[in-house]
Amino acid sequence: MSKECAKNFNLLLVTEKTYDAFMRYLSQNSSGEGLRLLFLWTDLNVFKHLSNGTKKDINVLSSEIYDKYINENGEKYIDIPTNIIIKIENSYKKSFKDVYDPCFEELLQYVFNTLKDIYYPNFKISDKYKELEKDLETDEIIYSRLLASSMISSIELI
């Protein structure tokens, strides 16, 4: 794992160590909105990639996302732009909620851009980010030493 994971927002979200560092930062340094957005991003990606799931699983997850984040009384309600809400509500009112509707893709893009444009720049100048970079640098050193030692041990002596 390289420091590139911390510098590239796309990689940051898909690498466990960097995701966890960003999550810890959001839990300590935002009003809660950033952390809720990160959880929504995660849930939407699970939903999006649940294509092999049963229709019941997909229906349950779409309902959970709606109830948790979009419904104004939801436990992790997020203030999402009205145009996206209207599309989701229209889709949600359909009797078939067993597919990943394109309106969720629009929501996913909104959440991603908000995290990247609003929360990530502050993370990059935080102490948590500096700690993450040092941690990743240590990981790289350990990995390169392990790799070198395994290469040396695999050399046959003549």
Token pair 């019941």 is at which residue? 56
Q: What is the pLDDT along the chain (158 residues), one digit of tens a residue?
A: 455 655 688 888 888 889 999 999 999 987 889 999 999 999 998 888 876 667 777 777 888 888 899 889 999 999 999 999 888 888 766 655 555 677 888 999 999 999 999 999 999 999 999 999 888 887 666 656 555 555 555 555 54
Two tokens at 85?
A: 């809400």
* pLDDT of 1: 46
Q: Where are the domains of the chain?
A: 33-144
Length of the chain: 158
Instruction: Look at the alpha carbons of 120, 38, 42, 2 in this order and tell me if their dihedral is positive or negative.
Output: positive
> In angstroms, rounded to a whole number, what is the distance separating the alpha carbons of residues 12 and 20?
9
Q: Which DSSP letter does residue 126 get?
A: S
Residues 6+ apart with CB under 8 A from 13: 19, 22, 41, 112, 115
Give the class (CATH, top level) of 33-144.
mainly alpha
Say how many Å lie between the first and final Cα of the chain, rounded: 35
Tell me what percent of the chain is helix, strand and coil, each rounded to the nearest 5.
75, 0, 25
Token pair 């309106």 is at which residue? 103
> In angstroms, rounded to a whole number, what is the distance separating the alpha carbons of residues 99 and 62?
9
